[in-house]
Amino acid sequence: MENRKLPTKKMVTEAHIQKAKELYELCKNGSAPTIEVKTQMLNLYNDMYGTTYRNTTNCSSCLNVVFNAIKKHALRSSIKKK
């Protein structure tokens, strides 16, 4: 069996941060106003972190992780350059 490691670097770009800001503005209260917004948040999270959450999930724990990550990126000004 082949051992696969998850990527150690997050793949967060300025475009991701901009999209996170837009989505966070729509759901500051912690609840997505529409299914489309929830789907966009899950797709963005999957893209940024290389995860495979289903974009139809209603798992409150999963959605909380996604919301908190989107919030974290939305509230920071820009990515730190190394």
Pull the structure tokens for residue 15.
């475009």
Distances (CA, A) of 6 to 9, 10, 49: 9, 10, 10
Q: Model confidence over 71-80: pLDDT tens digits?
A: 999 998 655 5
> What is the per-residue pLDDT for 76?
82
Task: Please name the helix (run of DSSP H) or strand (run of DSSP E) that holds residue 55, with its range, or none.
Answer: none
- Whether 70 and 41 have beta carbons less than 8 Å apart is answered as yes
Summarize pLDDT for 2-34 with one digit per residue, the tens. Answer: 554 444 456 788 899 999 999 999 999 989 999
